[in-house]
Structure formats: C-alpha cells, structure tokens
Amino acid sequence: MTPEELSAAIRAALTAAVEAGELSVEVPTELRVERPKQKGHGDWTSNVSMQLAKPAGMKPRDVAAVVAERLGAHEGIAEIEIAGPGFLNITLDTASAGALARAIVEAGAGYGRNDAMAGHVVNLEFISANPTGPLHIGHTRWAALGDSMRRLLTASGAEVTAEYYINDAGAQMDNFGASVLARAKGEPTPEGGYPGPYIDDLAQTALAARPDLLELPDAEALGTAREIGYEAQLADIRSTLEDFGVYFDVWFSEKTLHEGGAVESAIARLREQGHVDDRDGAVWLRTTDFGDDKDRVLIRTDGVPTYFAADAAYYLSKKDRGFPEKIYLLGADHHGYVSRLKAIAACAGDDPEVNIEIRIGQLVNLGGAKLSKRAGNIIELRDLVSWIGTDAVRYSLARYPADSPLSLDGEELRKQTNDNPVFYVQYAHARTANVARLAGEDGVLREDGFDPALLSDPTEAQLLAALGDFPRVVAHAAELREPHRVARYLEDLAGHFHKWYDTCRVRPHSDEETTDVHRTRLWLNDATRQVLANGLDLLGVSAPERM
C-alpha cells in the first residue's frame, strides 16, 4: 500500500462516516500521511482527527475513534492506535507494506512525482551573472540550488520556466568593451575596466573575428570589441553551466528592455497606477507606499534610466508573459532588493505575498581551492568542477539550506569514503546495481515470483517505510523550496539500505535453493535503486552503476 492509497482509504472512511451520520464535516480533498517520528508508532500517522475536530464539534480522540473503526476494516491495515491528542498511528500488514516495492519498480522514474504544485505557473530566475567575466564560486550555489528547485517544482506538478537575466546594458558593458579593445591594442586595462588573462583571450577572439578591428574609428572599434567579447563570454557562461548540468529555457537580455521601449512603457504603466512622481528633475516610484525604506528613482535628472527602472520593466515583462508567480534567487549582497522588488510588484497591482518570492543565498567558502589563472583572483566554476567533480559540488551545495553560510573542504569532497555524503549515497545506488547484476547471474529473476508477505524482517519494514516517504519529501521540498530535504532523505535511505543489505540476502548461498524470498527481496533492492536514482536526479547528480 502506497501513502497515496492509504490517504485515499482514510478519505473513504471519512466519507462513509459522514454518510452514516457519525460525523458532520466536509471531507478534505487532500489528506496526507507521514512517517512517525518515533519507532513503535506504526508505519504511518495522520493528524486528520485534530484537523476535523472543531468543524465536527467533537473531541479529536472521538473523531479518531470513528475513523479508526471504519479504517480498520480496510484490507492491508493490521492495526490502528489512537495516540496523544488524537493521532492515528497506522500499522500495515506485512503483505500490504511489501507491495510498495513492486509499485515503485513499476512506476520507475515517475515514482515520487506528485501534484502538490499543480496549477502553479512559475518563472524561476537564478544566477543572472554579468556577462563581463567567467562564472565563479559566488554563482555556484544558486546554479546548483536553482536547478534543483526547478526539478523539484516540475516533479510536483508546477509549470516552470527557468530564466537567466543577462545584465548586458549600462556602463559596465562599455567598460568591458574598453577592456577588450585595450588588450587588443596591447594597452593596459583602462580605469574601471576588467583585468585578468581571460580578457586577453577575448581580445584575441575579437581580432580573429575582425582583423580590421584596430583600423576602425574609435567608437566603432569600441562597439565591435564589446559585442564580440560579450557574445564570446556569454557562450562561455552557457557552456560552463551546461557542463554543470544547468539549462535555461529563457536567456533574457536587459538590453532589449531599453532598445524595445519596455522601460519607458513600464514607467508609463506605473504612472497610470498612480505610483510615479516627478520630483527634483527626476522620475520617482513611490515604493514607500508599500513598505520600502525610501522611494526609488526611475529616471535620473540627466534623463538616463536607473537599474531600478530596468528591474521594474523586467518584472512587468514577466507578468505580461503569463507568469503569476515569479521567484528570484539572489546573491548574498542583494538583501536590499527584497523590499524594492516587492514594492514593484505591489505598484504593478500584484500581491507581493503571492506573486513574487525572493530568496537570498549566503556565501560559500571552499578550503584548498586554487584561484583561477585565467580570471585572476577568483575560483572559477569551471575549475571547481574540474577539480572536485560536478556530482560532489552539486550534492554538497544541495544538502544545506541556502540561507546559511557554507564552508566546504575541497579535499574532503574528493574522498571516496562513507564520510563523504555524496559518495555514501552514490555507493548505495551502485551497490543495488551490483546486487541485481549478481542476482541475475545466479538466476534470481523478479518475474519468477513476488510475495510481499515474505518481507518480514525489521530492516525490511524500515526500508519500505523510508521508500514510501519519498513522494511526501519531494512535495514538501518543492513547497518550501528546500532541496536539502531531498539530500538528507537520500542519506537516511542509504543508511536503511546498507543495514538491510547486511541482514538480508538477495542471492542464495551456493548450497541454497532459490525461493520467492530471494526474488521478492530483489524487488525491494530494485525499488531502492529506483528511489535513489530518482532522488539524485532531482539534485542534478548522477546515479552510477559501479564505483
């Protein structure tokens, strides 16, 4: 019996009780069961009795007694205990619990997918680094977590568009172009420009693309160097992210907001909403009306739009493109953006508590890392992946909440020991693959038999309970935007598997006949392999067959 099937059974029991006049409540459309926090409290627990007690006009334990009497007759349920203020602690019979193994194998990659976020249409923006240099460790955390959030939200039924906002407008791009052109001329980096050997590489790219670059008029040469350098650097960012397993549906150029008139249009729309003022020769958005600490300038006294004006236009662009929910994943130095972005949403007529969500990721420090020779005084993402590996980097970043500072040890992440969490989980998957491979050589085949009642060892009950909890973990992690919950779950599951492996044999001894015990355990082994693979995929981490 899966958690979904048990939830349906509880709904059926409630419906029957209402129809019989034993309860007077509206039966919830969604009911969840969870694993008990303490051993000995059954396989699953539900607090539905406490949820319905007030509308039913009854004590929680009395509601629980009504539900338990009807639910107890359901096939597959061995025992129901009413605990504490009214918890239903439910123990499944061995066959019903064991049937989950086959259900997982048959569901395959779909096991764990759910509809907790169905109906949500989300624009998820993350990383959005300036295209003036290579991605570095400061961008790495949101690269890993943002992509895992996308996977979790999609697995939970949401319609998600992953978007990268290219900051390709403003003085920084002119400084970038001037830096590329200066190196092409063999001149030092101009004041306010970008240093680093990677600029030398871009200069050579520009010269190869336009051999006449140095013969062009100054303004044309600057624009040409800027555009060629920009395209090359953006291509490097795309390539680096793809090597890291991160892909975007949309690459949105800030420059298009200015060139297409979106900034002016956005200001006009906000003015129509009654939130724009003309003061002291500038154009202001009254964000203080919605909790910001000060009003924000949209157009300076010299007539030049501010970055904030582009932020407003970009928000309206997302709204116009049909995204009711907009999630921004920002770096540690962007705390000041929270109130102003929410104020933009409010000024645009949206609910800042519903239509926009802003997450701030804290800094990551990595001990033992070598600074990039190409980019200068930074640790490049490309070098990080080359040194430690995509799996170790992504998993290690995923297993901690984004809002906590993180310090990692690069050499520890490279070790293939059980003290390294990513190795511990991946090794569990590789072990399941090895068990299945060797079992097949011994003639133990799943299709020859399955008797879930034979999965009676305590380690099997614990492993099955952990496997059954996976869909709830995925849904909860998606709702809270917390991929680390999946990582910690996988480590717990790997622990249960290793204990089971040490206790229960899938392959018969050399002098032992193959029976349905072995075949049924193979189903359980393969169910574990499937859940480990599904969970690792949500984190963008591979599930190796051999290690």
pLDDT score for 308: 92
Is the pLDDT score of 183 beyond 80? yes
To the nearest whole number, what is the mean pLDDT of the chain? 92
> Is the pLDDT at 90 greater than 70, yes or no?
yes
127 has pLDDT over 60: yes
Nearest Cα residue to 506 out of 528, 491, 487: 528
Mean pLDDT (whole number) for 6-21: 91
On whether the CB atoms of residues 36 and 47 are closer than 8 A, the answer is: no
pLDDT exceeds 80 at position 296: yes
| Residues 6 or more apart whose Cβ sits within 8 Å of residue 68 | 80, 82, 88
Beta partners for 285?
276, 296
pTM: 0.88
CA 94 → CA 75, 137, 453, 496, distances in Å?
12, 49, 5, 18
- Asked if residue 529 lies in contact with residue 536, where contact means CB atoms within 8 angstroms, the answer is no
3-state secondary structure of 356: strand
Which amino acid appears at position 268 of this protein?
A
C-alpha 23/C-alpha 7 separation (Å) is 18
- How would residue 387 be classed by pLDDT, with cut points 50, 70 and 90? confident
Whether the predicted pLDDT of 375 surpasses 70: no
Sign of dihedral through CA atoms 276, 277, 282, 287?
Answer: negative
Question: Could you tell me which residues are beta bridge partners of residue 415?
Answer: none
**Domains detected in the chain:** 3-92 (3.30.1360.70), 127-259+362-410 (3.40.50.620), 417-538 (1.10.730.10)
C-alpha Rg value of the chain to the nearest Å: 29
The closest alpha carbon to 474, from 421, 529, 535, belongs to 535
- Per the CB < 8 A criterion, the answer to whether 427 and 547 are in contact is yes
Split at pLDDT 50, 70, 90, the class of 377 is low
Q: What confidence score (pLDDT) does residue 203 get?
A: 97
Q: How confident is the model at residue 372 (pLDDT cuts 50, 70, 90)?
A: low
Most confident of 134-138, 372-376, 530-534: 530-534
- 167: pLDDT strictly greater than 80: yes
> In b/e form, how buried is each residue of 436-473, taking b as 16+ CB within 10 angstroms?
beebeeeebebeebbebebbeeebbbbbbbbbbbbbbb
| Residues in CB range of 514: below 8 A, 6 or more apart | 442, 443, 444, 508
Residue 545 dihedral angles phi and psi, to the nearest 5° = -85, -25
Which of 136-150, 168-182, 402-416 shows the lowest per-residue confidence on average (mean pLDDT)?
402-416
Q: How far apart are CA 109 and CA 489, in angstroms?
A: 17
Decide if 137 contacts 369 (C-beta within 8 A). Answer: yes
Residue 371 has a pLDDT of 54
Higher pLDDT, 376 or 217: 217
Q: Quick one: how far is CA 339 from the chain centroid?
A: 24
Percent of the chain with pLDDT over 90: 74
Quote the CA–CA distance of 227 and 210 in Å, as a whole number.
Answer: 11
Inter-axis angle of helices 484-503 and 421-441, to 10 degrees?
40
Which of 13-22, 38-47, 270-279, 296-305 shows the lowest mean pLDDT across its residues?
38-47
CB 296 within 8 A of CB 289: no
Q: Give the pLDDT confidence score for residue 29 in this predicted structure.
A: 81
**Mean pLDDT (whole number) for 194-207:** 94
Structure confidence by residue, pLDDT tens digits, 30-81: 788 888 877 777 888 999 998 899 998 999 999 999 999 999 888 888 889 9
Residue among 475, 512, 349, 495 at smallest CA distance from 425: 495
- CA dihedral angle for residue 287, residue 290, residue 292, residue 293, rounded to 10 degrees: 100
